[in-house]
Amino acid sequence: MKKKSKLRIKSMPRFISFSLMSLAILIIIGIASVTLVTHVASAINNQKEKYQASALLVDASTDETTSDQDIQTKADAEVTSDANTDEAQQTGTDDPLESIKIRLRNNDTEGLKVVFLTFDDGPSDHTGEVLDILNTYNVKATFFTIRHEGAEAEASYRRIVNEGHTLANHTSSHDYDLYSNPEAFYADVNALDQYQRQITGLTETSHIFRFPGGSINANETCVLGLVKQGWNYADWNVSSGDGGSDPPASDVVAQTIICGCHEHDVSVVLCHAESKPDTRAALSTVIETLQAEGYTFLAMENDFTYPRQLEV
Ligand SMILES: [Zn+2]
């Protein structure tokens, strides 16, 4: 039997055994090719995802706040457009700045890196210097002014408006005693409103208000009365610490502001830079540092919600 079997194998036609061997080799080559192609495709895909992820990181930290930067590769532009698609679905716009504003209007602020710089009690002899620094970085801010007279003050009111900042109201007299007489208080606010319109030629002001000393120093009657007259009021959640008679050195002021902004999705920074040289010196450091970290500086608008010490 064994012999017979051997004979049968031996007697198998040579071309059949050759074909079987060829088929086996072809199958092995086929499997190897498919495996190789799969591996290469997967490696390319991984590489692409890594690139997109790193580009997205760059995009998140820079492009959103420096939309006017013209150094942007085609790849960056494509990734930016991908990143903004999600934002567009949420906010209905692919303009990053407008998207941030829509989120502020909806009070959808989680993860936002927005800073409102505010300067109280001006204009003063130094407002021009503050405006020059802001212009250097194309940063818009908010000026809670009181009534100051004279050619230089008038020029400052106009520059604030003409250079795209928000001219806001901090009463005409900055007199805390007015809180005990609501009607006199409203009249003082409206006197400044009229004065600002007269100097700047604005037909309508921002109707954004900050109580002297913050809303916590006012009372519910005055706060509620002002809100009913159509005013939006803003306190602050970051203080530069420059309000005292002996302000700290500029590097301390800068660090105070930067650290304060790191703690909030939306920061409202209280400065009295109008008359404090150390805050003015700190301003460039603050803006450069926070812009590099992806923060966006905005001027206040009436339909955003701001931090308040006294809510009514
Ligand atoms: Zn003040």
Q: What is the CA radius of gyration of the chain?
A: 33
Cα 233 to ligand 1 centre (Å): 13
C-alpha 278/C-alpha 309 separation (Å) is 26
Q: At what angle do helices 74-91 and 14-58 cross, to 10 degrees?
A: 70
Six-digit token string for 249: 């050195």
Q: Give the Å distance between the CA of 212 and the centre of ligand 1.
A: 5
The single residue listed with the structure tokens 């530069």 is 240
Q: Which residues pair with 158 in a beta bridge?
A: none
For the domain made up of 109-297, the CATH class stated in words is alpha beta
pLDDT (0 to 100) of residue 29? 55
**Which pLDDT does position 241 carry in this prediction?**
86
How many angstroms separate the alpha carbon of residue 177 from the centre of ligand 1?
14
- Residue 170 Cα to ligand 1 middle (Å): 7
Residue 259 CA: distances (Å) to CA of 72, 120, 150, 169, 279: 30, 21, 37, 27, 15
| Per-residue pLDDT tens digits for 155-192 | 999 999 999 999 999 999 999 999 999 999 999 999 99
* d(CA 82, ligand 1 centre) in Å: 44
Region(s) of the chain under CATH 3.20.20.370: 109-297
Give the distance (Å) from ligand 1 centre to CA of residue 247.
15
**DSSP bridge pairs for 145:** 169
pLDDT score of 21: 60
Q: Which of 13-17, 186-190, 219-223, 272-276 has the lowest mean pLDDT?
A: 13-17
Q: Over the stretch 288-311, which tens digit does the pLDDT of each residue have? A: 999 999 999 999 999 999 999 999
Distance 244 CA to ligand 1 centre (A): 12
- In this prediction, what percent of the chain has a pLDDT beyond 90? 62
CA of 179 to the centre of ligand 1 (A): 14
pLDDT(39) > 80? no
Distance 122 CA to ligand 1 centre (A): 9
Contact 160, 143 (CB under 8 A): yes
Q: Tell me which amino acid residue 245 is.
A: S
